[in-house]
Amino acid sequence: MTGRWRDLALAGAGLVILLLVPLFGAPPAIRDFIMFGMAYGLLAMSLNLLIGYSGLVSFGHAMFFASGAYAFGLAMQSGKFSIPAAFALAIVFTAVLALIVGAICVRLNEIYFAFLTLAFQMLFYNVILGWVSFTGGDQGLMGGIPRPKFLGIDLADRTQLYVFCSVAFIICIAILRQLVTSPFGYTLRLIRDNQERAAFLGVNVPLVKLTCFVISACVAGVGGILLTLFVSGAYPNFGFWTTSGEAIFMILLGGSNVFLGPLVGTVILRLLNDITVTYTSHTELVLGIVILILVLGLRKGPLDLIAERLENRRQAAAQAVRDAADAGAADTRKGGS
């Protein structure tokens, strides 16, 4: 089985596991936890496409999370769109927004890129706050998000909503995986490691970066749509800088060098949040301590650490085989002489 088919099989298996959750009678709280995690997981995974694979540290990624949420919510509240049409519209809107922002930002490097994305995010956030008649301002989209039936699917039913979110989530993860294992993904890593070399090899660096930026934004937008469906509303803080910061925390917590690292980080962060919030109101303090331990102690995400240990072990085993082969060859030569 090739890597591509293996990944698709794994995605299918992941979907089956997710779909088994309601079948085994899991309580609504667990389904809620997973749905919430899927929305934020897509935000973190898509951001890692920029940070981990392309070396583009964006501080403004939550803008696209919010743009997906608001575009979808507003389309549904208008009553003129079906859910699939609003879904598609929200992705197209997010893509166009990312295209405009990305076209300006991707030519800049490091800190300039980071801060310009932050500036665009705050601009978008302030448009949401200021355009009260359209977005509801700081109160968000009020009155709920209508969920008319389509193709016999009723998203007002919590189980069907869970299945819908699971399918959308797995499709996005599969797309991201295909992307990072494709030649395009390797080009991203090449740009991350040595942009000049990539340019000398004929890679159109700004175009590749822009493509990556737009795809990443679209996936974040899907995350925003899922959250909008979950909470039946969209709120300005979806696009606030703290949400971008949260996504960076998720990447830090899980690891940026392993594909599923940000997803693991999302689960850790959400679990930490849900557990600590039950015992104390000092959630941020607990999260801060955990992140300090990870940064100062492990110096990388847990998945990165595990991957590194496995790689070291594999290399040690390979070295042992080579040493044994060398020793055998030396013995043979000695015997032959």
Round to whole Å and give the CA distance between 86 and 278. Answer: 36
Q: Least distance (Å) from another protein to the CB of residue 79?
A: 12
Q: For another protein, which is the closer residue by CB, 25 or 183?
A: 25
Q: Least distance (Å) from another protein to the CB of residue 304?
A: 24
Q: For another protein, which is the closer residue by CB, 53 or 230?
A: 230
The token pair at 102 is: 């990305």
Q: For another protein, which is the closer residue by CB, 206 or 302?
A: 302
Q: For another protein, which is the closer residue by CB, 213 or 249?
A: 249
Round to whole Å and give the CA distance between 15 and 21. Answer: 10
Q: Least distance (Å) from another protein to the CB of residue 170?
A: 17
Q: Between 241-254 and 261-279, two packed helices, what is the crossing angle to 10 degrees? A: 110
Q: For another protein, which is the closer residue by CB, 161 or 176?
A: 161
- Work out the end-to-end distance of the chain between its first and last CA atoms, rounded to an integer number of angstroms: 46
* Residue whose C-alpha is closest to residue 62's, from 229, 241, 269: 241
Q: Least distance (Å) from another protein to the CB of residue 323?
A: 41
Q: Least distance (Å) from another protein to the CB of residue 199?
A: 42
> What phi, psi does 313 have (nearest 5°)?
-65, -40
Q: Least distance (Å) from another protein to the CB of residue 236?
A: 8
Q: For another protein, which is the closer residue by CB, 34 or 214?
A: 34
Which residues are within 8 A (CB) of 249 and not within 5 positions of it... i.e. 6 or more apart? 265, 269, 287, 291
Round to whole Å and give the CA distance between 92 and 239. Answer: 18
The token pair at 305 is: 């650490």
Binding site for another protein (CB under 8 A): 20-21, 24-30, 32-33, 36, 129, 132, 136-140, 142-144, 156, 158, 227, 230-233, 235, 237-238, 274-275, 277-279, 281-284
Round to whole Å and give the CA distance between 107 and 116. Answer: 11
Neighbour tally for 158: CB within 10 Å: 14
